[in-house]
Amino acid sequence: MAGQFRSYVWDPVLIVSQILLMQAIYYSFLGIWLVVVDSLVHSSPGLDQIFSYEILGFSILQGRLAMMAFILNALTCALGLLYFIRRGKQCLDFTVTVHVFHLLGCWIYNSRFPTTLTWWLVNIACIALMAVIGEYLCMRTELNEIPLNSAPKSNV
């Protein structure tokens, strides 16, 4: 381990806490985005918009607005990756974990496995957006210069 820049310690409490935090960010901001896009057309938000995979679609306005909210939520969650995960290498892991739990939630809510193509396309697009943008943002901060002050501080 002497040749490594950083040493990592397995910390399951930290990992579970980060998973729970990202899940909370995902559903909180998805709810906020759904309220925002529903207010544009004076529609009332509901759990169906989050968990019902039949609502996502191009044929009705509510489905297109829900898809827009999911895409906007992916961008918001990428910021969550930047501020709370802070490691580019872990962005894809946390993104897939959030979406697997969402898949399980949809499966339980609907009592059947999601089969609509638009649900899968929207979620794959959201996974790609959230992971790539989150990794880009994290890599930018990881590559910042580390200031090295070799001169002693003087209290003048």
- The DSSP annotation for the chain comes to -TT-SS-----HHHHHHHHHHHHHHHHHHHHHHHHHHHHHTT----HHHHH-TTS--SSSHHHHHHHHHHHHHHHHHHHHIIIII--GGGHHHHHHHHHHHHHHHHHHHHTS----HHHHHHHHHHHHHHHHHHHHHHHHHHTSPPP---SPP---
Q: Taking residues 70-85, what's their average pLDDT? A: 94
Name the residue ranges covered by the structural domains of the chain.
Answer: 13-141
pLDDT per position as a tens digit, 24-72:
999 999 999 999 999 988 888 788 899 998 888 888 888 899 999 999 9
pTM: 0.84
